[in-house]
Amino acid sequence: MRHGQTYGNVAGALDTALPGLELTDLGQAQARAAARALADRGVEQVVVSTRVRTHQTAAPTAQVQELSPVELPGIHEIGAGDFEMASDEASVRGYLSTVRSWVTGDLGVRMPGGETGHEFLDRYDADVERATTGGHDTVLLVSHGAAIRTWVASRVTDAAGRPEAVQPLHNTSLVTVEGHPRTGWRLLDWHAEPVGGAFLEDESAPDPTGEPTSDAR
């Protein structure tokens, strides 16, 4: 699940560094609604990144499920590097064009001032494996828009060919996959709108890391 709306999303800023901006009031409402929507999903473990927005998003679900979230260091957002906290069109397109290169298989491209696609997938894969090999049948990872899209496109069978996979990933959207790190993953559902209800969407927010990579030029 992607985190709830942050002040960085509203500003259209590429906010990827530690600790990251907090949730807005709408983001908090999205998190509470997500907890209600996920109440009967049988979540056995909740995993968050090192960014504060994932902790705030996960908290209501963890409370409902009576779980303590587990923080893992590798599922944070794709670092913006030289574009960090920028919101101008050129910077956003530079960020998205790099992510698009990775999604289309050119993993050697480096984000200016940041990581390559190989480096991103190495860290993300490692923590997906940690999260999903601990004996839990259903794990909720609360992560980030560009990171989720890139990992799913790179690691999930037929994800890139699914028409919904080119849609935006709005705040508290939910992508459901099934499988195992050693045998592979398949896409079960791509719910691009807030899992707690489409009425929680803020279409006025620029939110660059939630946009599809097809928007890159």
109: its two tokens: 């491209």
Active site residues: 3, 77
Cβ(23)–Cβ(200) below 8 Å: no
156 bridge partner residues: 185
Residue tagged 């993300």 (tokens): 124
First vs last C-alpha separation in the chain: 27
